[in-house]
Structure 1
Amino acid sequence: MHPSQDVKIAKAKGRPMLQWVGKKPLSTVPAYPAQHIERFQLETASDPVADLNWSDWPERYPRGGLLFHGDNKDVLAHLLANGFRGKVKLIYIDPPFDSGADYVRKVNLRGTASAKLDGEDYSLGEQVQYTDIWANDNYLQFMYERLLLLRELLSDAGSLYLHCDPRRGHFIQCIIDEVFGAENYRNELIWKRSDAHGNVGQGTEHFGPVHDKIFFYSKGDRPTWNLQYTPLNEDYVKGFYRYTENDGRKYKLDNLLGPGGATKGNPVYEFLGVVRAWRYSKEKMQNIYDAGRIVQTRPGTVPMLKRYLDDSKGVPVQSIWTDISMLRGWSGEKEEYPTQKPEALISRLMQSSSNPGDIILDCFIGSGTTAAVAQKLGRRWIGCDINKGAIQTTAKRLQTIIADQSVAEDAPKQRQGSLLPDADKAPPKPAQLGFTVWRVNDYDLQIQHNEAVQLVVEYLGIQRIKTDAFFDGTRGNRLVKIVPFNHPLTPLDLDSVKRELDGRPGEERDILVVTLGMELTARAWLERHNRNRPINRIHLIELRTDKKYGGIIQHEPASAEVAIQRERTPDGDMLTVEIQDVMSPSIVARLSLDTSLFRAQIPDWRAVVDCVLIDTAYNGEVFNVCLSDVPERKQEFVQGRYALPAPPAGSTVAVKIVDMMGEEILLSRQV
């Protein structure tokens, strides 16, 4: 596919229409190619993929889960250009809330939950996952563009669930009304996400915010819908199920009259001496009576229907949800990922608006909860995120789930039972036992931009501006723009600074541009711009070469010593992979130690390793996971030594080691 291919996007035609500065509808969007970088597939006796109809799945993609790393605008355009238009049954998204917060996850070494290092725990501090800093207009345009793309991907029977908080919910709903049409509004769901808010009673002058909103819209007028139920509460049972049969069955008495009477078309006839408009036909009424399910307390009174407690499915789920708890540390599914949502919440949405085998999409995948629930409930899934940590967390989580699904029959039932309304009901068969990881638009996987920005901000003494969507902060009397570190400064970057200043005629401050490196043409652009210019001069700090500030982003990569060899045994050739040492300079620096002290205090290299993956036939491009060592608990270590059937002579064996900060080490050897 050519990188400049344009994907056409239909206009939004709904009302009302919210206006903001810079509002621009999408008519076309460029679609970039995707690079296949990793594959995880478990081979089993029965292949679940063969049991599904995959005729709606584009041929260019393997049949299984799809996990994309990249800006979701690029990923959604790629999906539209490559056969997924109108194929997705359910979309759940939990986008940034425009909260002005930096979302972080706490990182610790493995196996050190209770250990101490000079009185401190082995904490690596907080790792920035993403920064939720927007100006209102930019946030609205960001959401508008993505909702336009998401609508194109939904099938006519598809549904959208958008998770947000009350601060921007009213704006978001106006945008969804415009994109999807107000007539396709289904519900505003209220989820009580916490018990109480800590700042209430400590000087704040508002009620405690303890809920989120979830907007539910359909693509058309006939969405997939499966009514869900919650159990009857004890007080209701005591108050209404007051009668008991001789065999102990509890029941209540229910109305047999037709809703709306005769005017609504309900049949009118005499039954047990009473003439009324009834709920059922006379023949069906007689059959119910013969079955002993109708009671007339005395002659002349209106007969009542016996409804047994053990026949009740429960109460249809309403729009306020207080029965799904927030995630807590002991829940068993917490990934230490900011904004992670409980599986039970996503499960209810997914079971309501999709069926096994349907395609589910989440383009803000985060910790991977949507993909995890889809995998457990027998749905096909697509996820994407711009954050590398989100991709790694999701991949590890799915590997563990799929491994559980491939073992004995009882294991998946135990793990998945909590997602099903009926605990005795067997979980759906997995739609797939593998997934692939892709990269769109060549996003850099080695350096986390958010972390690097935070480092620069602290080092240079920059004051962050939470309300400016373009400039990152101020330093003295200068506005600061930090250019993304995954590319050198170019004239295009400087043009964007100039355009921003042209839109702010009252802004007289100079500008400080911070970059990792620069093209020669960018220096010439700066000289032209600053020549004889009294205001808005642009100053530059090039971190790689600056004599005063250079060296801040010097990154010493993690390294490992791995022995890979072929061994002849009575059972045939075996491959042994033994990791002998792993060293992560980033982790050592985080702990404020030198290497020798780190070695003395933490002698087991496995403490710094999050997971180990092995490919026994690496082709240099796609990493096929043949063995995955992902400890289920943070207190556990990877094994470190592995034995596998030997591949054909001359094969290249690759070992991928991911440390606790998310840095990847890839070593390969021919055997």
Structure 2
Amino acid sequence: MNESIKKSKDVTVAKAKGRPMLTWVGKKPLSRVRSYPAQAIERFDATGGQPVALQEADWSDWPKDLPKGGLLYHGDNKDVLAHLLANGFRGKVKLIYIDPPFDSGADYVRKVQLRGAKGTVKIDGEDYTLGEQVQYSDIWANDNYLQFMYERLLMLKMLLAPDGAIYLHCDPSRNSYLRLVLDEVFGADSFVNEIIWQRLSAHNDSGRFGIIHDTIYYYGAPDRVWNPQRTELRETYLEQFFDQTEEGTGRRYARSDLTARGLRKGETGKSWRGIQPAEKGNHWKVGVSQLEQWEVEGRIHWPKSEGGMPRLKRYMDEAIEQGGTAQDIWSDIKPIHNQSQELLGYPTQKPEALIDRVISASSNPGDIVFDCFLGSGTTAVSAQRLGRRWIGCDINKGAIQTTAKRIQDLMKTQAADACVPQQGDLIGIAQTCQKPSQLGFATYRVNDYDLQIQHNEVVELACQHLGVTRTRTDSFFEGTQGGRLVKIVPFNHPLTPLDLEAVRNELKTRPTEERDVMVVCLGWQHDARAWVETYNRNRPVNKLHVVELRTDRKLGGIIKHEPLTAQVNAERMGDGASAKLVVEVQDVVSPTIMQRLNLEQGVFRAQITDWRAVVDCILIDPQYDGQVFNVALADVPERKQDLVNGRYEMPAQPAGSTVAVKIIDMLGEEVIVTKAID
């Protein structure tokens, strides 16, 4: 099996044909996008090689180069979408749920806490002022944000199955814009619902009514999957409508109309017990034989006044058991609170009950569910628990690690044949023990970049460092510096001739532009240097000046990082059948965590007496091949105050094997230490 798809290829993106069309500065249709390779970096299998009953799913059209299981991608979702389209997933995804950044100016910095006893110091997980990754960088100008979403929605449409559906979660800050973009991309006739999720009961907003809801837009094909969802009936509803008491039984009931407008022939148009609804231009909702059956069962309410119409008794106890049909206002799902077991420190984390309802309504077991703004991984967790196949991606490394831990724990429980209840099962009607479609997943990295930082927030940092004056109305250049235009190349890959061609093509569209261009990048390919030299030769205007942020003598040095380090010992002990592999982590040093603690504690230097306080989890692959990390042992403490063990015993491996120990600290930074076993 190929561990990576090595060839890059272009993916053609279809034009949006819907109306109306929203216009913004710099709007460009996405006609072609480059597909980058995907490198397998980690595998997990909860079965241990043992047969386990799984949900029946059609894997016949699954790409042959990919394992049959969950897929977790680390990379810019535009790159991941292009990769999926180019490698067999076009038109295969039944349900898409996305919860993109809202461009609302909100603080999306994840909060983390060092392990240990209560009271351990909390620190920011990511802080863009330090030039490191953030959960979601909400600093885009409105035009850039709309272009960002437009491009991704165009590609998501191509992934969606002909009978598929997409849910887009947003807040009031940009929902009107996004509705128009969705209309343009998917077509206004594909609009199904505007769902209002009341996530708070009250909110103090100065000078305005409190904002207590989010909006979820639901678009889908006419023949999309639809499974009606049940909700718990509220006490106020029961008191208001179930206002009758049946004599003899004492059962409370509501009265329901038995007729509907319009004349009909056949059973529903007949006279029953001397009553002819046609006289009033109506017909019975059911045939007269069914009415007679209900009368025998005592389910017909007869009014005391003469000439009144009979009604159907709807008993309150039955209504409570059945629940109500979910409407487009969801007020029965509460947000994740500070004491919730689901809480993972992500400010934008959504409750599992919310995602459960979306997945249950618009997909069936075995279908593919996709989320390209995965965050803390709730979509993947819900899909796994509900027996769906799933694909997820995120640009943030911490999000990938958090998701992987949650899925590993869930799959272990499912492999043990334990019941995993549905979080949204409020009234006991959900299928709580759905068989999983898979009990393993693989993690891939798309575009093969190793500097895990988010482009948009680092652009801000680079502009501050270089003294760039931002030009928000220019869709191509980030701004100007010293009379030169500034183009910042995406930091998820080194500078290539393709990037430089894009600059030249943009300049061709501006024939009166005579300024030189500063090209800012992180690393550059050898052929890019030759390209710049050739381009600049004998050119009086529009010369290119490349600034590599790590090595440039005058302007470099902006990206500095001291990596996580660890001391690990691994040795084979004993002989024969009793031989075992003993792995012991002796020390872990996280310079980044120490830097954060020192910044927050001011003049007092931070001290960590137990290295385990900085470690989030430890993973071990006893037969590491140097490419894909196969998780054979995962030490992931259940509670924040618990510590990793640090010492592990496993079955001995053959002499010459390489054991690899992956250590992930509380900020998501990781290090792999390998040891050869004699």
TM-score when scaled to structure 2? 0.85
Q: 2:659 aligns with which of 653, 663, 669?
A: 653
Deviation track 1:275-334 (CA, whole Å, cap 9, x = no partner) reads: 223121122222222222223244654222121122223332222222222322222212
Change (3 A) 1:265 1:64: farther
2: distance between equivalents of 1:106 and 1:488? Answer: 31
Residues 37 and 448 in structure 2, CA contact (< 8 A), matched pair in contact too: no
Q: How far apart are residue 665 of structure 1 and its match?
A: 0.7
Structure 2 residue identity aligned to 1:132: D
Residues 631 and 638 in structure 1, CA contact (< 8 A), matched pair in contact too: yes
Structure 2 residue identity aligned to 1:226: N
Deviation track 1:440-459 (CA, whole Å, cap 9, x = no partner) reads: 22232556656766665665
Aligned counterpart, 1:350: 359
Residues 123 and 596 in structure 2, CA contact (< 8 A), matched pair in contact too: no
Residues 139 and 456 in structure 2, CA contact (< 8 A), matched pair in contact too: no
1:305 paired with 2:326, answer no
Aligned counterpart, 2:68: 63
Structure 2 residue identity aligned to 1:555: H
1:192 paired with 2:194, answer no
Residues 109 and 123 in structure 1, CA contact (< 8 A), matched pair in contact too: no
1:340 paired with 2:349, answer yes
Aligned counterpart, 2:334: 325
Moved more, 300-309 or 59-68: 300-309
Q: Following superposition of structure 1 onto structure 2, how do residues 69-108 of structure 1 map, counting pairs within 5 Å?
A: 69-99=74-104, 103-108=108-113
Change (3 A) 1:450 1:581: farther
Aligned counterpart, 1:249: 251
1:14 paired with 2:18, answer yes
Structure 2 residue identity aligned to 1:359: I
Moved more, 328-337 or 344-353: 328-337
Q: 2:187 aligns with which of 176, 181, 184?
A: 181
Deviation track 1:612-653 (CA, whole Å, cap 9, x = no partner) reads: 111122111111111112223322211111122223333222
2: distance between equivalents of 1:345 and 1:18? Answer: 30
Q: How far apart are residue 538 of structure 1 and its match?
A: 6.7
1: distance between equivalents of 2:267 and 2:449? Answer: 63
Aligned counterpart, 1:37: 41
Q: How far apart are residue 50 of structure 1 and its match?
A: 6.5
2: distance between equivalents of 1:537 and 1:102? Answer: 39
2: distance between equivalents of 1:366 and 1:321? Answer: 22
Residues 266 and 279 in structure 1, CA contact (< 8 A), matched pair in contact too: no
Q: 2:169 aligns with which of 160, 163, 171?
A: 163
Residues 38 and 624 in structure 1, CA contact (< 8 A), matched pair in contact too: yes
Deviation track 1:175-223 (CA, whole Å, cap 9, x = no partner) reads: 222322222211111223344555x32xx5x4443332211111x2111
Percent of aligned positions with the same letter in both sequences?
56
Residues 26 and 475 in structure 2, CA contact (< 8 A), matched pair in contact too: no
Change (3 A) 1:266 1:210: farther
Q: How far apart are residue 373 of structure 1 and its match?
A: 1.1
Change (3 A) 1:525 1:295: closer
1: distance between equivalents of 2:75 and 2:355? Answer: 23
Aligned counterpart, 2:588: 582
Change (3 A) 1:165 1:232: same
Residues 532 and 544 in structure 2, CA contact (< 8 A), matched pair in contact too: no
1:141 paired with 2:132, answer no
Residues 102 and 128 in structure 1, CA contact (< 8 A), matched pair in contact too: no
Change (3 A) 1:441 1:491: closer
Aligned counterpart, 2:130: none
Q: 2:138 aligns with which of 106, 126, 132?
A: 132
Aligned counterpart, 1:262: 263
Q: How far apart are residue 582 of structure 1 and its match?
A: 0.7
Q: Which runs of 5+ in 1 are unaligned?
A: none
2: distance between equivalents of 1:379 and 1:111? Answer: 36
Q: Which runs of 5+ in 2 are unaligned?
A: 128-132, 278-282
Residues 365 and 390 in structure 1, CA contact (< 8 A), matched pair in contact too: yes
Residues 6 and 38 in structure 2, CA contact (< 8 A), matched pair in contact too: no
1: distance between equivalents of 2:15 and 2:499? Answer: 30
Deviation track 1:49-87 (CA, whole Å, cap 9, x = no partner) reads: 464443343332212111112222232232233322222
Aligned counterpart, 1:110: 115
Change (3 A) 1:307 1:633: same
Residues 516 and 543 in structure 2, CA contact (< 8 A), matched pair in contact too: yes
Q: Following superposition of structure 1 onto structure 2, how do residues 280-295 of structure 1 map, counting pairs within 5 Å?
A: 280-295=286-301
Residues 614 and 665 in structure 2, CA contact (< 8 A), matched pair in contact too: yes
Q: Following superposition of structure 1 onto structure 2, how do residues 101-500 of structure 1 map, counting pairs within 5 Å?
A: 103-111=108-116, 113-115=118-120, 126=127, 128-198=134-204, 200-201=205-206, 204=207, 206-218=208-220, 220-245=221-246, 246-257=248-259, 259-263=260-264, 267-276=268-277, 277-298=283-304, 300-312=307-319, 313-407=322-416, 409-410=418-419, 412-413=420-421, 416-419=422-425, 421-422=427-428, 425-445=431-451, 456=462, 470=476, 481-489=487-495, 493=499, 496=502
1: distance between equivalents of 2:498 and 2:86? Answer: 27
Q: How far apart are residue 439 of structure 1 and its match?
A: 1.8
Residues 31 and 78 in structure 1, CA contact (< 8 A), matched pair in contact too: yes
Q: How far apart are residue 569 of structure 1 and its match?
A: 7.4
1: distance between equivalents of 2:363 and 2:666? Answer: 36
Q: Helix, strand or coil for the counterpart of 1:131?
A: coil
Residues 25 and 473 in structure 2, CA contact (< 8 A), matched pair in contact too: no
Change (3 A) 1:272 1:654: same
Residues 13 and 30 in structure 2, CA contact (< 8 A), matched pair in contact too: yes
Moved more, 658-667 or 6-15: 6-15
Structure 2 residue identity aligned to 1:161: Y
TM-score when scaled to structure 1? 0.86
Structure 2 residue identity aligned to 1:360: V
Q: 1:623 aligns with which of 597, 614, 629?
A: 629
Q: How far apart are residue 21 of structure 1 and its match?
A: 4.8
2: distance between equivalents of 1:84 and 1:491? Answer: 29
Residues 94 and 364 in structure 1, CA contact (< 8 A), matched pair in contact too: yes
Residues 572 and 582 in structure 2, CA contact (< 8 A), matched pair in contact too: yes
Change (3 A) 1:152 1:542: closer
Q: Helix, strand or coil for the counterpart of 2:432?
A: coil
Q: How far apart are residue 424 of structure 1 and its match?
A: 7.4
Structure 2 residue identity aligned to 1:564: A
Deviation track 1:525-558 (CA, whole Å, cap 9, x = no partner) reads: 4897698969x88766544445565544333221
Structure 2 residue identity aligned to 1:392: Q
What's the RMSD between the two structures over aligned residues? 3.6
Structure 1 residue identity aligned to 2:152: R
Q: Following superposition of structure 1 onto structure 2, how do residues 519-530 of structure 1 map, counting pairs within 5 Å?
A: 522=529, 525=532
Moved more, 44-53 or 28-37: 44-53
Aligned counterpart, 2:280: none
Residues 261 and 278 in structure 1, CA contact (< 8 A), matched pair in contact too: no
1: distance between equivalents of 2:11 and 2:498? Answer: 24
Residues 512 and 539 in structure 1, CA contact (< 8 A), matched pair in contact too: yes
Change (3 A) 1:264 1:35: farther
Residues 124 and 587 in structure 1, CA contact (< 8 A), matched pair in contact too: no
Q: How far apart are residue 34 of structure 1 and its match?
A: 2.0
2: distance between equivalents of 1:25 and 1:253? Answer: 55
